Structure 1
Amino acid sequence: MSFDRIIGQAPIKDTLQKIITNGRLSKTYIFYGPEGGGKDAMAIEFAKAINCLDETRVPCDVCTNCRQIGALTHPDLRILYAGSKKNLEKESAGRFQIKAKDPYIPLAKNSLAKILIDSTRELKQFLSLKIFNVKHRVIIISEADRMTEQAANSILKLLEEPPEKTMFILTTSQIDRLLPTIVSRCQVIKFSPLKADEIRDELIKRGTEKIQATIVSRLAGGNFRKAMILLQEDHQALRNMAFQAIVTGVSGDYLEQFAFIETLTSGKNKSMIRDFLSLALLWFRDVFFFHELRFGHPDWEAVLTNFDRLNDIQKLALLLEDQDVEQAIAKTELLVDLVDKNIYINLILIDFMTIFRNLQERVA
């Protein structure tokens, strides 16, 4: 039952299973929601489920149709994705092999690439061919918002009069970039960001250590794709820096504070600054929970992110014992949001350090 391959999204699974059970399949769907939520993965599993020879509400993963669709090699499955005509011809087989192994990996290699009119022309030729052993031929348009105007208009004509026994599934995280006339012809199914514990559990299942999985899942913002990218980075040094920055801020050592700012801004890396502030936010939240639970809890791993650094959390809790930790959390959350806006990074970090100036100084 390979709907289990999908991380979270239980309401979507239930909705799709009911659609299959009731026999109320639409010919056109839009799977819409934030990046890394599993829209492409769900589209593939849905294609398997509606064509499974076992005729259950979920894919059996054993029959020929399930196996071929899962491998993205079924003759009645087509996936359109962004890329130049030259690169698509060279790389499609390899990209599909990677996608089949892990459907959370994007097909497009270039974030600026588009879905071209050439792809839709080839699709029309494909749709003229005879259908093989499936109930529904399936066309998945991954990141459909990346279609050029010509490609979008070409797809619109197909959606206006979809061929028999053919289903279109468009996936997108930016539905406002699709033609309104395309959206109006599709049943929209909205995905939610993944929960941190869903991402954490999947990472652990894939072999990630618990503490690393916990931290990465909190930084990923509901995006499993981002979590996989974050795993490739070393956050231990940045986590230590966030801890030291808070200690330094509380102690009022302004020279050391500016040294932190200089270190962080030397690479002019917005992603690193965002991660630094997010890690500081996790420390603040741990201190908040530490206070709320009166310095005692039978299972700290269940409530704290930095559960492997309990002594450091206690140290911060003592330093900030009479401070307004909630204010620090609110301010840091605001600063995290400001990183992606056109604001001078140094000012954001200076603002972060000023959080502590309004708090009563206590040095351990």
Structure 2
Amino acid sequence: MLVGHQKIIDYLTRSVFKNQIAHSYLFYGPKNIGKTSVAQYFAQTLLCSSFQKDGDKLIPCQKCEDCQKIAKNIHPDFLYLKGEEMSSLGIDDMRRVKAFFNLRPVKGKYKIALISEAEKLTEAAINSGLKLLEETAEGGVIILTSSNINRFPPTFFSRLQMLRFYPPSKTEIISWLKKQYPSYYPMAEELLFFSNLKPGLISSFLENKTMLSSFKNNLKEAIQFLISSDFEESISFFNDQSKLGDKLDSLLWAVHILILNKFNPEKTFKSFIGNLNLTDFSSQKLFSKTSKIFASKFYLERNVNPNLISNDLLF
């Protein structure tokens, strides 16, 4: 799934054509905007057995056995550690990457390791990763994706080529939606609104029928927390500390919705807002909460105790 990011894709495919490939990359930017998809496409470009030349770029066919195996994560020269499926990425995961690079390529001349949500690397894993980045053999390529680069020490960045990703444009997403999910095209405005222009989230909504409904419920709870004066009700919002990061993301999106509804109501999704009781909404209270939410995200990214963070938001 490639939506947008054409300049980055052109840069990467051109680097393959010119044989100017870095040993390690860090793709960073918000979640669910396509960083991992571009990383997989880059891996296909490096390993494709039937690539096409397009000027000064090499384009993977995405149909050959190598491209198909990368798409299914079963290619012998492509290792994909899915950070989104793990609570953390530890030293054993880095040993697995090291063992992978100790073997010669089975096909072609490259071996590629992709680690998504690399912000989940533990301190020990980061230290091991620093050494690995220095010792990667010829033909070895490491790609990290992250939505929170504050987790890494400055020495980490000097060993990586960093590429910053931004959300695709509304036009790009609508075009992709019309092509990829034509039967859901009538829902485009609703999907764009609740995904905040994140195609990965749109795919999740459409592939998991209950996810959009659950997402809306979480947003309603977040809005209720922001406007409620009921202390007991507010405490219940933070019952599960393991999901504090997701709660903070919901709160920020809820702030966005409330601000839109108050100052630019034609931009909000009417059927959703119409079901909410906003009589207790106070702009002053909202702006105060907003600054605390941003501070909370800052502290959470730096491993401050989640209980302290949530307690601060309650007062």
Same fold (TM over 0.5): yes
Does the residue aligned with 1:61 lie in a helix, a strand or coil? coil
Distance in 1 of aligned mates of 2:102 and 2:251: 52
RMSD of the alignment, in Å?
4.0
- Equivalent residue, structure 2, for 1:157: 131
Bigger Rg, which one: 1
Distance in 2 of aligned mates of 1:130 and 1:118: 21
User: Displacement of 1:132 after TM fit?
Assistant: 1.1
User: Displacement of 1:212 after TM fit?
Assistant: 4.1
Tell me whether 1:171 sits opposite 2:172 in the alignment: no
Tell me whether 1:137 sits opposite 2:111 in the alignment: yes
- Equivalent residue, structure 1, for 2:77: 76
Distance in 1 of aligned mates of 2:155 and 2:125: 14
Structure 2 unaligned runs (5+)? 53-57, 206-210, 239-246, 275-280, 297-309
Query: Mapping of 1:97-112 within 5 angstroms?
Result: 106-108=84-86
Closer/same/farther in 2, CA of residues 183 and 171 from structure 1, 3 Å limit: same
Distance in 1 of aligned mates of 2:229 and 2:177: 32
User: Displacement of 1:60 after TM fit?
Assistant: 0.4
Q: For the Cα contact (< 8 Å) 1:81–1:107, is it kept in 2? A: yes
Tell me whether 1:233 sits opposite 2:214 in the alignment: yes
Distance in 1 of aligned mates of 2:23 and 2:142: 6
- Equivalent residue, structure 1, for 2:299: none
Q: For the Cα contact (< 8 Å) 2:234–2:314, is it kept in 1? A: no
Query: Percent of counterpart pairs with the same letter?
Result: 26
Q: For the Cα contact (< 8 Å) 1:48–1:65, is it kept in 2? A: yes
Task: Number of aligned residue pairs: give it.
Answer: 267
Query: Mapping of 1:1-364 within 5 angstroms?
Result: 5-56=1-52, 57-82=58-83, 106-108=84-86, 113-203=87-177, 205-206=180-181, 209-210=184-185, 212-227=187-202, 228=204, 231-233=212-214, 235=216, 268-269=236-237, 277-284=255-262, 287=265, 306=269, 334=287, 337-338=290-291, 340=293, 341=296
Closer/same/farther in 2, CA of residues 285 and 66 from structure 1, 3 Å limit: farther
Closer/same/farther in 2, CA of residues 267 and 275 from structure 1, 3 Å limit: farther
Distance in 2 of aligned mates of 1:17 and 1:25: 10
- Equivalent residue, structure 2, for 1:352: none
TM-score by structure 2 length? Answer: 0.68
Closer/same/farther in 2, CA of residues 273 and 77 from structure 1, 3 Å limit: closer
User: Displacement of 1:335 after TM fit?
Assistant: 6.9
Which residue identity is paired with 2:28? Y
Q: For the Cα contact (< 8 Å) 1:196–1:221, is it kept in 2? A: no
Q: For the Cα contact (< 8 Å) 1:145–1:175, is it kept in 2? A: yes
Distance in 2 of aligned mates of 1:138 and 1:306: 43
Distance in 2 of aligned mates of 1:339 and 1:215: 29
Closer/same/farther in 2, CA of residues 116 and 215 from structure 1, 3 Å limit: same
User: Displacement of 1:279 after TM fit?
Assistant: 3.8
User: Displacement of 1:43 after TM fit?
Assistant: 0.8
Q: For the Cα contact (< 8 Å) 1:79–1:140, is it kept in 2? A: yes
Q: For the Cα contact (< 8 Å) 1:196–1:218, is it kept in 2? A: no
Question: Higher mean Cα deviation, 147-156 or 181-190?
Answer: 147-156
Q: For the Cα contact (< 8 Å) 1:197–1:217, is it kept in 2? A: no
Does the residue aligned with 1:122 lie in a helix, a strand or coil? helix
Distance in 1 of aligned mates of 2:114 and 2:169: 26
Distance in 1 of aligned mates of 2:158 and 2:23: 13
Q: For the Cα contact (< 8 Å) 1:32–1:172, is it kept in 2? A: yes
Distance in 2 of aligned mates of 1:196 and 1:25: 31
User: Displacement of 1:52 after TM fit?
Assistant: 1.2
Distance in 2 of aligned mates of 1:181 and 1:132: 32
- Deviations along 1:67-117, one digit per CA (max 9) or x if unpaired, are 1111110011112344xxxxxxxxxxxxxxxxxxxxxxx333xxxx21111
Distance in 2 of aligned mates of 1:307 and 1:201: 24
Closer/same/farther in 2, CA of residues 222 and 275 from structure 1, 3 Å limit: same
Distance in 2 of aligned mates of 1:16 and 1:234: 34
